[in-house]
A and B are shown apart, each in its own frame.
Chain A
Amino acid sequence: MFNAIFIPEKGHGAPVWGFSGALSTPNPHRLPSSIAREDEHLLVAAAKKGDAAAFEELVNRYEEKVFRLTRNITGNREDAEDAMQDAFLKAYSHLQDFHGDSRFYTWLVRIAANESLMRLRKRRPNQFSLDEPVEGDTDLMPRELEDWGPSPEQGYAQAELQGILSEFIEQLDPEFRIVLVLRDLEELSTQETAEALGISVPAVKSRLLRARLKLREKLNRHFRRGTLH
């Protein structure tokens, strides 16, 4: 692990690579994400000029989120790790192609999503297609309707709720899962999701609607008032 911290606005001089020493010690000075957003463009500009520590700081900020993305799309830890690693390496190699038209993170997500999709397709050939025509929306009316009460999630420990959500994402068909992950977890716009996946905006919207309804259905089984869990 690299220990150099790049804080350009405070003028701490040239960042230093942690090439030797405590490479596995977590950086205790990681900046909160709210600050990360403000100086992201400075870090990207420095990284483009060859400042390795600036790129490292970007990696530090986004590695957990990118791992969540690759894990959620591939549904497999080994593939998730490979996809994450290749995504960061490719991002570094192609930094000059990033022109700041979007947030750096959005650009990174697109690379990571593609790396994940490649692995998913390799592992599950012919099992799903993002290019298939959008199915009709005739059978979408939810059938299970029960009152959840005002704050149903409060009856669950964080880890328990996390387990329910992970299981849901894992079981969701890839064509719905990928869209849900990019739109609702990574907060890409519909247009950005369509571009990242190379599918139409209506296809994104249709899959997102189905995925969200499936999510409600899944949670309904847990949240309906009076259900023991």
Chain B
Amino acid sequence: MNCKGVIHELSNYLDGDLDPGLKTELERHLEHCEDCTMIVDQTKKSIEILCDSRPVELPSEVRSRLHSALRQKLSSRST
């Protein structure tokens, strides 16, 4: 596998979706290619940072309006 192949399979590799043969080929390439190793590691790190990001705070007035609309809907159902 060459560098282009690694990039092409990068997401599948990080998601654990690569079939064993391709995974071995990719990891063999990483053993001698510093650039691809850096790309793989940094992309993995980037996804981890994104996943760790906190949810956007729900403004209290938005939450109030949501619950007010729900209350209307739910009370109309129960009557």
User: Which residues of A does B touch, CB under 8 Å?
Assistant: 1-2, 17, 19, 23-24, 26, 50, 52, 55-56, 59, 63-65, 67-68, 71-72, 81, 84-85, 88-89, 92-93, 137, 140-142, 145, 147-148, 152-153, 158, 161-162, 165-166, 180, 184-185, 187, 190, 205, 208-209, 212-213, 215-216, 219-220, 223
Decide: B55 and A68 in contact? CB cutoff 8 A: yes
User: Which residues of B does A touch, CB under 8 Å?
Assistant: 3-4, 7-8, 10-12, 14-15, 17, 35, 38-39, 42-43, 45-47, 49-51, 53-58, 60, 62-71, 73-75, 77-78
- 8 A-B interface contacts by CB (under 8 A): A1-B67, A67-B58, A84-B62, A85-B65, A89-B70, A93-B73, A212-B43, A219-B45
Decide: B67 and A216 in contact? CB cutoff 8 A: no
The main secondary structure of chain B at its interface with chain A is helix
Chain A residues lying within 8 Å of B65, measured Cβ to Cβ, are 81, 85
| Contact A59/B74 with A67-B55, A212-B11, A212-B46 known, Cβ cut-off 8 Å | no
